[in-house]
Structure formats: structure tokens, C-alpha cells
């Protein structure tokens, strides 16, 4: 079975801190994604990567950056955390282009105070 | 702009009842996926529909893709408490099948 793991289930940070969210998948998937999920807004794509060192902006990239140095690992970086970045962050991966399902991690609930 | 509209947003029913949730768009999608998300977990894929008019069954769940590939429905027969969760539809646009657009979801509660 595909396993997508995220470094933390819960995280509390202060405004202005630099925050790293880590995601690792173990099935050699080409594509990796970062979403945030907020009540009433659904899942919104922040960034995705279709290959090592390749990335594309999603629908809401402002305030975020990403890094993919190895195929299995995709990191989301909040350069200077703000309270409006309090959210559930979900990482996902998929095999390649096509109608491939996305496999999600359990999520990181980030609170910025 | 919300490309995928799901309805209803909330649904609370008794065990044994039938229900249908809808996923509608003005855009054409090359494929549409349905996910279920349980509290504290990430979404898990239930089904992918690709062909207009396609119907897929997964035990008590029936999924249909509209003929014009703009809408989809999920019908659950004899709902059980284990069906409780957030049901999400997600569409892939032609040319970027690996990038999905998600609806806001239908939160289903099945009471024993």
C-alpha cells in the first residue's frame, strides 16, 4: 500500500516564525501536492511538483514556498507564519499524469498564534 | 470561482435510509473522482469515472458521471453509520490530469 506520511499531526507556531512541513511518500510517485483545507472553503492547492526540483504554483501560493530535492520528499515552507495560515495542511502524491488517484497523508493541523 | 459545486453541504440521516449527493459544474472534466474523508484523516479515493454516462458501483455506493461530463452523483443505498464522513468530488481538466479541482464536500452523518 502507498503510504504518505507527514512530519507532524499537530503544530503550534508563533506569528513570524519560519515553519517547515515535511511530507514523504514511499511508492516512487512522480507527483506531489500540498493543499490546505478550511471549513467552507474545501481543499485548495498551494503548490505541486511533477518531478525532482520541479514545482508549479497552485491556486493559493502566496506566503508559501516548496522544496523537492528528492523524489520521495516534498516540503512546504511558511517563510513568516501568519494567523491566517492557521489551517489543516494535506500532502498528497500520485503516480504520473493520467487519471491516477491522489494518495493523501493524515494532515498537519497548524495553529499560528 | 468555485468550479465544482457540491450539494447538499450537510446531510444527516438515519441508518437504512437512501441518499444522493451531487457534484455539478459548468465546465467539462476529463475525469472525476470521489473521495471520502473521515475525521482526522486525509481523503481516500472511492472511484474514478472517465466516460460520459458511466455508472460504477462499489457495494452500496453507485456513482454516475453525466453524459456531458460536467456533473456527477453519488447514491448510497441503506446507509450505515460507517458511511459517515466528508464526501469530496474532484475533477481533472484536460491537459493537466494530475491537477485536481475539489468541491467543498458533503458532510454526511448516518445516525444509528
Question: Among B41, B72, B99, which would you mutate to test the A interface (most chain A Cβ atoms within 10 Å of its Cβ)?
Answer: B99
CB contact under 8 A, A48 and B99: yes
- Give the CA dihedral A50, B29, A40, A18, nearest 10 degrees: 10
Q: How far apart, in whole angstroms, are the C-alpha atoms of residue B76 and residue B57?
A: 10
Considering chain B, what is the average pLDDT of its residues?
Answer: 92
Percent of chain B with pLDDT over 90: 79
Q: Is residue A100 predicted with pLDDT exceeding 80?
A: no
Selected residues 16-55 of chain B with any CB under 8 Å from a CB in chain A: 30-31, 33, 40-45, 48, 50
CB contact under 8 A, B97 and A98: yes
CB contact under 8 A, A42 and B97: no
Q: Is residue B96 predicted with pLDDT exceeding 90?
A: no
Confidence of residue B18 (pLDDT cuts 50, 70, 90): very high
CB contact under 8 A, A106 and B41: yes
Q: How far apart, in whole angstroms, are the C-alpha atoms of residue B21 and residue B107?
A: 10
Q: Look up residue B110 and give its three cell numbers.
A: 448516518
Q: Is residue B95 predicted with pLDDT exceeding 90?
A: no
DSSP A109: E
Q: Is residue B104 predicted with pLDDT exceeding 70?
A: yes
CB B12 within 8 A of CB B109: yes
Confidence of residue A33 (pLDDT cuts 50, 70, 90): very high
Confidence of residue B71 (pLDDT cuts 50, 70, 90): very high
- Give the CA dihedral A12, A18, A20, A21, nearest 10 degrees: 50
Tens-digit pLDDT profile for residues A49-99: 988 989 999 989 999 999 999 999 999 999 999 999 999 999 999 887 666
pLDDT at position A97 is 63
Considering chain A, what is the average pLDDT of its residues?
Answer: 92
CB contact under 8 A, B98 and A90: no
Q: How many CB pairs under 8 A join A and B?
A: 58
Amino acid at each position: 500500500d502507498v503510504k504518505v506520511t507527514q512530519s507532524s499531526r499537530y503544530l503550534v507556531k508563533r506569528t513570524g516564525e519560519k515553519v517547515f512541513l515535511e511530507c514523504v511518500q514511499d511508492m516512487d510517485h512522480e507527483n506531489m501536492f500540498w493543499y490546505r483545507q478550511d471549513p467552507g472553503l474545501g481543499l485548495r492547492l498551494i503548490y505541486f511538483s511533477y518531478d525532482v526540483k520541479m514545482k508549479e504554483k497552485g491556486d493559493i501560493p502566496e506566503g508559501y514556498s516548496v522544496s523537492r530535492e528528492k523524489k520521495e520528499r516534498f516540503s512546504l515552507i511558511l517563510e513568516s507564519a501568519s494567523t491566517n495560515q492557521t489551517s489543516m495542511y494535506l500532502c498528497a502524491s500520485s503516480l504520473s499524469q493520467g487519471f491516477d488517484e491522489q494518495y493523501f497523508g493524515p494532515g498537519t493541523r497548524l495553529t499560528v498564534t | 470561482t468555485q468550479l465544482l459545486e457540491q450539494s447538499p453541504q450537510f446531510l444527516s440521516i438515519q441508518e437504512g435510509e437512501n441518499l444522493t449527493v451531487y457534484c455539478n459544474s459548468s465546465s467539462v472534466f476529463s475525469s472525476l473522482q470521489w473521495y471520502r474523508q473521515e475525521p482526522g484523516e486525509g481523503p481516500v479515493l472511492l472511484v474514478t469515472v472517465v466516460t460520459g454516462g458511466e455508472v460504477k458501483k462499489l457495494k452500496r455506493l453507485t456513482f454516475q458521471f453525466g453524459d456531458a461530463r460536467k456533473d456527477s452523483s453519488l447514491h448510497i443505498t441503506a446507509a450505515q453509520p460507517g458511511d459517515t464522513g466528508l464526501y469530496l468530488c474532484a475533477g481533472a481538466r484536460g491537459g493537466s490530469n494530475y491537477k485536481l479541482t475539489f468541491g467543498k464536500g458533503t458532510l454526511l452523518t448516518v445516525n444509528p
